Structure 1
């Protein structure tokens, strides 16, 4: 099913998707929900529902599914790797967590298939094989630092560096024990300053101390001096540290190149993780919300029982509404603020969410059918950039709908024929309905025009509905009454 971004915005889909986002476990899942679109065909939709049912059964029995709370989106890291040519340890860790999780899920696929979860197993098998990458990334510890075993050369360098540091400390202890220097020292401690082993010397003794000035202390009353006896070993340590940095950089560059070479497979794996996270989120969403996965029908149409608009919260009045079986157009009438537009939006969001494979705010028994397009024209939107009036903006939108209209299209039109002379608007509204009916499209429209109401009452394939109100208080009840024209 195809639906434009304008319709997505008019139906507040992005706001409603946040209901699901609260129940996924990662930013990968949240991003997947944020970017979700209607599926392309009814077979894919049915398969998606069947996949969820299997996953639901698995969680009911097993209680959990492989996961790692440390996973995050890796897109920015991949871009950094391409830009800089290197990712550092803490930037490589997210790949270790992500790919490690994919390996665990993929390894589970055999047992999943054997135990009767073939669809879940098939989705798990879609992960590329990242076994070698996970092994390669195991050279990093949990802080992103390379283990000594990351390469034989790194192990050798670090071994020599550790020996040089021990030698420096031994030389330093001899200096601290030298009676000729003891009176010049501020403290009996060997310390590091600017990555070199130094001692703290009294300021007045610095000119006569056998060594090189490095820095003042924080108080300024003493100075850090590098004793002459430590210069050679400090130089050796500095050279070994540089060798270590170069070897670490070589290893990190190699790991970065390895990941960039598999960028497409990694992003696909991230997308699959998002799908599994959404399955998990739907499972727990349905535990706490009175929503359902609707039945899917081959015929174009819908049948919604106790459908509610979720953004209205607990005060939302459920509506029963259907279209497609006995009639192809439903004209809703009634007073302003009575719930006509809410009814349109409720139908639209239920169809949209269902075609995304998501639960809808309705009761069991609700059905959603085959749709090629879902488009809406709701509210008083104007195309300011094109300098169109409200009426012209609506006409432009209707023309766009007519260009794609077919027997599987669903169109939602608010205030049909409004924005111009009432007689002309009513005539135009009737002409628009007749044109959609010639295409056998499904249309839900609201209107105030009496001629359109009469047309709906007397025309085959068109049904009327109204929003109920209290005749004594004249306050709306927000209930939708099918087959009853509004006053």
Structure 2
């Protein structure tokens, strides 16, 4: 058990208050007010594991349903001794049972999702008593406004029905007395009101004898009397009698419900205890979320490592974070430095983080922090001088230290603030060294702050002890509040005085008084500080480079793993895709061959040239893309191997058109006839076309090169309709054979019949891409321009 004095000194109660502000119900707040640090490693790890599960739930679900929970233990105790519970108390019991059911279902949902493991919460869920039967019985009698409902019993329903009927009759009788001109004169107001649970009317004092009856009240001025007229006295008596019956029946119902609560009172105590414990754990997790805290790793060997730790009671954005590590080879830290430099805050940070972790509260430090579980924690911090006990500052500190020396052991954490202060410097320093030797020698973990320069050398002369200091910026004359482990603090008195304008000769004289030894120590400290700053910069740069290298390596490993994982699958998919392409190509080739066979059977008929062109193109397109490119490349190489000469048929690769070689000029370019065009082209853009042999079985007499005879326009003006259509169809075939992309058909304007017929033919033609009328300088509506695919 950690001593209450240490909890008070380190202000652990304020931490508890901050955590309690995140509690949902009074049960959680009460539990947190009594929260104390555990001293067993297993217990502390259990608390932190519960809190970590709560953090996981909050990250996953955002919130936990904890509404409608009341502390119903007093109600259960009264029910145990035979007391009658009020409707409000019964409603609170019902609401708490309902809240436990909702929480149980919520935990079951989280477990079913299997997104996060919460065995500790699941175990608490199993411990929750199931009292839904009592909840339903209460809800069948008590409504949400804590009123006993008519449906609670048949007797109550009958009594209330009679009561409402009788009250209606009384109101009607009194209403009749408030109407009319006489009533307006004698009554202060034409209303019906209630006094002493009886219906009355407000009568002016001078007319009180007119109505007779009983006076129940009067106004402050005495001018108005609230009278129950004789006409309704008996009716009011009957109402009172019904109300007595109603109360008796309501009490009977409440006693029955209270008896049912008595039967499960023990289960209610357990229910409230578990709900309160869950609220405490959730409040810790919410506090950790709000303050960017983490769950530290715990040990029982006294080792502490806090990474970027902040004081939990300081503003999160303003507090300076420090790295603190000791407990293995180094078991004592002596912090030196000026006042207001942050030494005391550092001590409290270590103490509070230790207490918070042992209480199952996340600590304000980064991930990877580690803390020890101590059986005792002692803190001598602050000025506790007592006027009543005639104790000085030194005496009060010494009383506290004496108590610590009697109680601490090797499993204790001891924090000394300004050890040995308040007395003669020489004697105070000697006492401080002696006390540190005692505490450190008995194996306790100790942190101490001091002003004494003699203690700067303490860390160098004792194994397991290290110096530390709070950084001070001489340029700005202000502390940075950063803890420097391994570097004793400098006084900086000479530097500060010089910056503030103290004459140089006075400072030089003062330095002579300090002595050679002190000067050498200060120089050594300055050198250590310079080396530390450079080492920190080098370490940061090294850490950055290592992080980048690790990131690159991880990225490379990930990509290699992805490649290995997908290589086999991609290969399989590629083979399957290739097989499908080849199968499709085979089917298309077979279709083309079947059509050629049909053309062979039609040998006696004229085979149209565009049919042969279509068949050849389909056969080329049927070849898989990759294979097609290989064959095309092979044909180009074969064609280049053939020496070109005038008169050869060639294919112009850049245009995809056929042509005839005319002659070769001195620059090595060929003049090529392409249809009606002549072009100069380099030899590498030409592919030799081997002359095709004409088979005897197919009549291809109509297949010939018409590129010299086919014009780019067809003039149909003056032709008969049938002749014009026949000429148009034949002209389109000749133009396709000549590889024309566009031709013009002149049909004239006339009646428009020939134009319509030609355009209908063009719509049906499979190789026509589109058509449109000519421009104004091309003949306008008298000309149709045709584009081929």
> In which range does the TM-score fall when normalised by the shorter chain?
0.7 to 0.9
TM alignment of 1:332-351, pairs within 5 A:
332-351=335-354
> Which structure would you say has the larger RCO, counting Cα contacts within 8 Å and 6 or more residues apart?
1
Aligned in 2, Cα 1:184/1:198: closer, same or farther, shift over 3 Å?
farther
Per-residue CA distance 1:3-44 (angstroms, 9 max, x = gap): 222222221222234443443334443343333221242212
Question: Match of 2:611?
Answer: none
Question: Match of 1:32?
Answer: 31
Q: Aligned equivalents of 2:259 and 2:425: distance in 1? A: 68
Shift of 1:380: 1.2
Question: Match of 2:355?
Answer: 352
Q: Aligned equivalents of 2:101 and 2:266: distance in 1? A: 16
Question: Match of 1:486?
Answer: 489
Give yes or no for contact 1:185–1:199 (8 Å, CA) kept in 2: no
Matched residue SS, 2:446: strand
Q: Aligned equivalents of 2:480 and 2:190: distance in 1? A: 86
Question: Match of 2:319?
Answer: 316
Give yes or no for contact 2:336–2:470 (8 Å, CA) kept in 1: yes
Aligned in 2, Cα 1:383/1:195: closer, same or farther, shift over 3 Å?
same
Question: Match of 2:236?
Answer: 234
Shift of 1:347: 0.7
Per-residue CA distance 1:417-450 (angstroms, 9 max, x = gap): 2233333322322222222223311011111223
Shift of 1:267: 5.5
Question: Match of 1:408?
Answer: 411
Q: Aligned equivalents of 1:261 and 1:335: distance in 2? A: 67
Question: Match of 1:55?
Answer: 54
Question: Match of 1:102?
Answer: 100
Q: Aligned equivalents of 1:367 and 1:295: distance in 2? A: 5
Aligned in 2, Cα 1:227/1:473: closer, same or farther, shift over 3 Å?
closer
Matched residue SS, 1:410: strand
Q: Aligned equivalents of 1:152 and 1:10: distance in 2? A: 64
Q: Which runs of 5+ in 2 are unaligned?
A: 491-789
Aligned in 2, Cα 1:377/1:182: closer, same or farther, shift over 3 Å?
closer
Aligned in 2, Cα 1:89/1:294: closer, same or farther, shift over 3 Å?
same
Q: Which moved more, 1:105-114 or 1:32-41?
A: 105-114
Q: Aligned equivalents of 2:423 and 2:181: distance in 1? A: 104
Q: Aligned equivalents of 1:448 and 1:200: distance in 2? A: 85
TM alignment of 1:391-402, pairs within 5 A:
391-402=394-405
Q: Which moved more, 1:305-314 or 1:164-173?
A: 164-173
Question: Match of 1:134?
Answer: 135
Give yes or no for contact 1:282–1:359 (8 Å, CA) kept in 2: yes
Q: Aligned equivalents of 1:239 and 1:62: distance in 2? A: 56
Shift of 1:75: 6.9
Shift of 1:402: 2.7
Q: Which runs of 5+ in 1 are unaligned?
A: none
Aligned in 2, Cα 1:334/1:254: closer, same or farther, shift over 3 Å?
farther
Question: Match of 1:123?
Answer: 124
Question: Match of 1:243?
Answer: 245
Q: Give the paired residue count.
A: 484
Matched residue SS, 1:312: coil
Shift of 1:50: 2.2
Question: Match of 1:9?
Answer: 8
Aligned in 2, Cα 1:194/1:458: closer, same or farther, shift over 3 Å?
same
Shift of 1:369: 1.8
Aligned in 2, Cα 1:339/1:214: closer, same or farther, shift over 3 Å?
closer
TM-score for both structures, normalised by structure 2: 0.55
Question: Match of 1:306?
Answer: 308
Shift of 1:322: 1.4
Per-residue CA distance 1:349-388 (angstroms, 9 max, x = gap): 1111111111212122211122211221101113556544
Aligned in 2, Cα 1:222/1:317: closer, same or farther, shift over 3 Å?
closer
Kindly indicate whether residue 426 of structure 2 is the aligned counterpart of residue 423 of structure 1.
Answer: yes
Per-residue CA distance 1:99-156 (angstroms, 9 max, x = gap): 3212332455555555443211112233344435433542322222222234454334
Shift of 1:411: 0.9
Give yes or no for contact 1:302–1:324 (8 Å, CA) kept in 2: yes
Question: Match of 1:373?
Answer: 376
Q: Aligned equivalents of 1:151 and 1:16: distance in 2? A: 52
Of residues 275, 278, 291 in structure 2, which corresponds to 1:276?
278
Give yes or no for contact 2:288–2:361 (8 Å, CA) kept in 1: no
Aligned in 2, Cα 1:22/1:342: closer, same or farther, shift over 3 Å?
same
Aligned in 2, Cα 1:342/1:174: closer, same or farther, shift over 3 Å?
closer
Q: Which moved more, 1:6-15 or 1:470-479?
A: 470-479
Question: Match of 1:438?
Answer: 441
Shift of 1:410: 0.7
Give yes or no for contact 1:184–1:201 (8 Å, CA) kept in 2: no
Give yes or no for contact 1:184–1:205 (8 Å, CA) kept in 2: no
TM-score for both structures, normalised by structure 1: 0.85
Which of the two has higher C-alpha Rg?
A: 2
Matched residue SS, 2:484: strand
Q: Aligned equivalents of 1:202 and 1:392: distance in 2? A: 82
